[in-house]
Amino acid sequence: MRAFVAALAVAMLAGCATGRPTLEQRIDALMRDYDGDVPGASLLVLRDGVPLVRRGYGLADLEAGTSATPGTHYRLASVSKQFTAAAILLLAQDGRLRLDDPVRRWLPTLPAAVDTVTLHHLLTHTSGLLDYEDLMDPADTRQVHDVDVLHLLEPQDRTYFAPGSDYLYSNSGYALLALVVERASGQRYADFLAARIFRPLGMMHAVAHEDGRTQVVDRAFGYSFENGAWRRTDQSTTSAVLGDGGIYASIDDLARWDAALYDDRLLTDASRELAFTPMTATDDPQVRYGYGWRVTAGMLWHSGESIGFRNVILRWPQRRLTVVLLTNRNDPEPYELATRIAALAMDESDR
């Protein structure tokens, strides 16, 4: 890391000498709205596994005045889905389950309407399962958990469409996958992720967070801009569901995750190919879906949005380039900003 800092200092001096802003200076200009006494962001730009940019902007906790850093842990929201998918793939590697297993093999209390729904359908959002948020009682302010999603679906003997016949993004499906991980492994979902993914990769403080059971180290709290001011909006009634979005991690954690996606230290070549294969057409003609990943013209990516958080991870494996942008605010959606940052990094590498 000392060598990297020294090289970065030399590059900045060279930029000043030529009058041309450095890559970090140009990226800082793009990130200016996240800087200062506002809900912030943590940004990671990796090329060949080396951080070109690794820093925080703004505040992780407005009330305490805590700055966002590379070690700040954000609620990943739907970026979590790639970890749920990886957990299923690990169990398939172990021979504990098959991807073509009917979901009712593992969750037999589901209604007969889902008889033909398989784990593959859940992974690719082609199950047709009803959206659990539409089934919740709006007057009930208690948080729901993954098992509550199962209970909400149990009396609903219908699906939106015949399983496998269409695509509809499904948080219900990924909540059920977390329960399948528990049934197939004999471990709680959070414990399985810790034992099989987080600790082996050195993601020591990443966690599928459960209030009262685990703590989030260096935690970012979520905020929304309302009536001209930032208001803490860190949790909603769905924030305790783990399989679809309940993981907290930092950009340093995700650097380790990204490195593991290039080799077989975690997933076999065959499992990674399954995860990254553009299997399913989506509602965007330029995007297809794999297992927990969106696939667009050589790019693997996923966004994550929940109350008070907006995140994105973009990967170009052939270029060995990754951009991770985690934010603790309700707006804006960071995909466009991350792609602009990636374009600057590509331009720099092509020089």
| Domain containing residue 70: CATH number | 3.40.710.10
DSSP string across 26-82: HHHHHTGGG-SSSB-EEEEEEETTEEEEEEEESEEETTTTEEP-TT-BEE-GGGGHH
Residue 30 included in any domain: no
pLDDT band at 20 (very low <50, low <70, confident <90, very high): confident
pLDDT over 70 at 133, yes or no: yes
Domain range for 118: 62-350
Q: Is-contact 275 294, C-beta < 8 A?
A: no
Q: What is the pLDDT of residue 34?
A: 98
| CA distance linking residue 103 with residue 118, whole number of Å | 5
Band of residue 16 on the pLDDT scale cut at 50, 70, 90: very low
- What is the C-alpha separation between 208 and 191, in angstroms, rounded? 8
312: pLDDT confidence band, cut at 50, 70 and 90?
A: very high
To the nearest whole percent, how much of the chain has pLDDT over 90?
A: 93
> Is residue 330 in some structural domain?
yes
Q: What is the pLDDT of residue 8?
A: 41
Let me know if residue 25 belongs to a domain: no
User: 3-state class of 315 per DSSP?
Assistant: strand
pTM as predicted: 0.93
Q: Domain count of the chain?
A: 1
Give yes or no for a contact between 248 and 242, defined as CB atoms under 8 angstroms apart: no
Distance, C-alpha 55 to centroid of its chain: 19
* pLDDT (tens digit per residue) in 153-170: 999 999 999 999 999 999
Residue 338 β-bridge partners? none
Confidence bin at 18 (pLDDT 50/70/90):
low
Domain membership flag for residue 180: yes
- In the predicted model, what is the mean pLDDT of residues 292-305? 97
Is 7 a residue whose pLDDT tops 70? no
Q: Does a structural domain hold residue 23?
A: no
Distance CA 99, CA 123 (A): 9
Judge whether residue 58 has pLDDT over 80: yes
Residue 5 has a pLDDT of 40
Q: Is pLDDT at 3 greater than 80 in this prediction? A: no
For residue 348, what pLDDT band results from cuts at 50, 70 and 90?
confident
Q: What is the pLDDT of residue 11?
A: 41
DSSP state string for 80-148: GHHHHHHHHHHHHHTTS--TT-BHHHH-TTS-GGGTT-BHHHHHHT-S-PPPHHHHS-TT--SPP-HHH
Q: What is the pLDDT of residue 6?
A: 42
Question: What is the rounded average pLDDT for all residues in the chain?
Answer: 94
What would the two tokens of residue 301 be? Answer: 């990516």
In a domain, 13, yes or no: no
What is the Cα–Cα distance from 212 to 323, expressed in whole angstroms? Answer: 33
Q: Quick one: average pLDDT of 282-311?
A: 97
- Whether the CA torsion 187, 193, 194, 200 is positive or negative: it is positive
Is residue 334 in a domain?
yes
What pLDDT does residue 28 have? 97
Q: How far separated are the first and last CA of the chain, in Å rounded? A: 24
Read off the DSSP letter of residue 202. Answer: T
Residue 9 has pLDDT above 50, yes or no: no
Q: Is position 24 within any domain?
A: no
